[in-house]
Structure 1
Amino acid sequence: MTSATERPEPHHPAPAGAGDPASVTGPVRLIATDLDGTLLRDDKTVSDRTVAALAAAEKAGIEVFFVTGRPARWMGVVSDHVHGHGLAICANGAAVVDLHRGGRVVEVRPLHRLAAMDVVGALRVAAPGTSFAVELTTGLHYEPEYPPFHLDPGATVDAAERLLSEDAWHAETPVLKLLAHHPEMSPDDYLALARETAGAHASFTRSSPTALLEISGLGVSKASTLAQCCAERGISPGEVVAFGDMPNDLEMLTWAGSSYAMANAHPEVLAATPARTAANSEDGVAVVIERILEEQT
């Protein structure tokens, strides 16, 4: 979940042929796109060109799913641009929300509190200085040491152990994600350490340029929830085109039949995704959608 105040990682130049849809080998029935660093420009807006491309895809019978680390309450920037089904996948796959109904959560794949407590204990030992936040279906709560956070003014500020306690006032509210921040470690080293020390308890990923980890229930990812949504619609991986830029997109990009890394993507994403498109600031998603529609008409 990348904060609107965090700076994006440096852009990488797009290679020759960026946006060439030649890797799409058959009819496309669904487009799955990340938001921050992918569909959204750096100022967190959706360009007119991208809005038009999304609408044209839906008109052509291609479903569009926004698949993001953002919580439902941060989906206002794109809520007007989901047509048809109205659904989006949020919190890295932990929630499916209905944007036609004000971001109402219609399905939850929670991180169980005991597993989250195990992660907290392991990271306190393995990475001293770690601070935590707990993302519930109703909002974010965090520790006093967690980086200043102003988007959830009603948050409870307390130790993670108490926030996750069975006695907490919100104990019956599902936990979508645990967030872990370290003030000194490099983001990739922190992710590797966390997976090594606590990977038996939860799924770890990252999408921030800082050492901020996003921790979900075991097996929960953008890819696994997208696969479930596609199976419900009789859509195979080969009929899906996906777009992304950060490590939390990797499973989705490798699951989809055709995938595009943004030119500004993390090096690991660029290495894992042969097809490229232009940067998010240059409407890279729209470039590919337009060409797909030309091929399918």
Structure 2
Amino acid sequence: MAPPIAYSLIATDLDGTLLRGDDTLSDRTLDALARVAAAGAQHLVVTGRPAPRVRPLLDDLGSTGLAVCGQGAQLYDAGADRLLWSVTLDQELAETALGKIEAEVGEVYAAVDQDGVDGLTLIEPGYRMPHPTLPAVRVMRRDDLWGEPISKVLLRHPSLSDDELAATARSVVGSLATVTMSGPGTVELQPCGITKATGLALAAEHLGLGPRETIAFGDMPNDIPMFDWAARSVAMANAHPELKAIADEVTLSNEDDGIAVVLERLFTGSLVDSAQ
């Protein structure tokens, strides 16, 4: 008989965590996730990417279950290709927040992720995508960003660091939006009160699980709410110092199969046991 598993829900960020820098999954990581499935545990992607940018990766994983997308603003059902739940960012609140930020730091460059399973990523002049592999549509002016409901706004500043931009944004935005920093060149505004923990808690409830059964992996400050929610948290070696400071454990980097190292330890023998 297989021994009881320590965690039934494995929540992983994507960029800088599960994925390598070229947006691929290593064979070792795929094998480790197979161990998780063989043991009866579930893998849940919890990412800042919107649902349309996650769908191809879920296909690579062979996943037909749930995924938390858009920093927690979307709960996506991969098998049905539909959103079970989504929250949008009010356009007026977004524009007001942008105005307050620019009053402090000068001009910023903005992009938006549209809501929905077919939503586009729109970028205004001057905005540069932090992930060149992700598709985006350039618009002529900022007003063109607001044509459809959006899940979040992405910001870049020509000279401030991400930490500086995020700190200033938090100091002036207040309750207009939640400010997150999810990767190099990625400071974001999302609906107030929405975080990765919001989406993770909702997904776990759908699966009949809770914090005590969950281990979470991440690399950036936007993963802090998820780490606070889960029973155990693991930061990557390449993680932001803020996340490492609160993590229960620091593993190897995403390039060195850091998630696989931990899962192999937790689920040793799962493939053998399931075959008996």
- TM-score over 0.5 for the pair: yes
Structure 2 equivalent of residue 286 of structure 1: 260
Supply the RMSD in Å over aligned alpha carbons. 2.2
1:148 to partner: Cα distance: 6.2
1:73 to partner: Cα distance: 2.4
Q: Is the contact between residue 37 and residue 245 of structure 1 (CA under 8 Å) also seen in structure 2?
A: yes
Structure 1 equivalent of residue 157 of structure 2: 182
Q: Classify the secondary structure of the residue corresponding to 2:48.
A: coil
For residues 38-86 of structure 1, the C-alpha deviation after alignment (integer angstroms, 9 at most, x for no partner) is: 1111222101111111122122111110111112222213423154x52
1:114 to partner: Cα distance: 2.1
1:155 to partner: Cα distance: 4.4
Aligned mate of 1:145, from 118, 121, 126: 126
1:258 to partner: Cα distance: 0.6
Residue type matched to 1:203 in 2?
Answer: T
Residue type matched to 1:134 in 2?
Answer: V
Distance 1:81-1:228 versus aligned 2 partners, 3 A rule: same
Q: Is the contact between residue 65 and residue 82 of structure 1 (CA under 8 Å) also seen in structure 2?
A: no
1:180 to partner: Cα distance: 1.3
Structure 1 equivalent of residue 22 of structure 2: 43
Aligned mate of 1:133, from 96, 111, 115: 111
Q: Classify the secondary structure of the residue corresponding to 2:75.
A: strand
Structure 2 residue 216 is the aligned partner of structure 1 residue 242:
yes
| Cα separation, 2, equivalents of 1:134 and 1:288 | 35
Structure 1 equivalent of residue 60 of structure 2: 80
Residue type matched to 1:118 in 2?
Answer: T
Aligned mate of 2:10, from 31, 36, 41: 31
1:295 to partner: Cα distance: 8.4
Higher helix fraction (1 or 2): 2
1:209 to partner: Cα distance: 2.0
Residue type matched to 2:126 in 1?
Answer: E
| Cα separation, 2, equivalents of 1:175 and 1:148 | 17
| Cα separation, 2, equivalents of 1:47 and 1:219 | 34
Structure 1 equivalent of residue 96 of structure 2: 118
| Cα separation, 1, equivalents of 2:16 and 2:176 | 29
Q: Is the contact between residue 141 and residue 157 of structure 1 (CA under 8 Å) also seen in structure 2?
A: no
1:262 to partner: Cα distance: 0.6
Structure 1 equivalent of residue 73 of structure 2: 94
1:153 to partner: Cα distance: 5.4
| Cα separation, 1, equivalents of 2:232 and 2:135 | 37
Distance 1:153-1:227 versus aligned 2 partners, 3 A rule: closer
Q: Kindly, what percent of the aligned residue pairs are identical? A: 39
Residue type matched to 2:199 in 1?
Answer: T
Q: Is the contact between residue 29 and residue 63 of structure 1 (CA under 8 Å) also seen in structure 2?
A: yes
Q: Classify the secondary structure of the residue corresponding to 1:223.
A: helix
Structure 2 equivalent of residue 163 of structure 1: 145
1:147 to partner: Cα distance: 2.4
Q: Which runs of 5+ in 2 are unaligned?
A: none
TM-score w.r.t. the length of structure 2 is 0.87
Q: Is the contact between residue 46 and residue 78 of structure 1 (CA under 8 Å) also seen in structure 2?
A: no
Q: Classify the secondary structure of the residue corresponding to 2:268.
A: helix
Structure 1 equivalent of residue 46 of structure 2: 67
Residue type matched to 2:60 in 1?
Answer: D
Q: Classify the secondary structure of the residue corresponding to 1:100.
A: coil
For residues 238-285 of structure 1, the C-alpha deviation after alignment (integer angstroms, 9 at most, x for no partner) is: 110000011111111121001101111111111111311111111111
1:191 to partner: Cα distance: 0.6
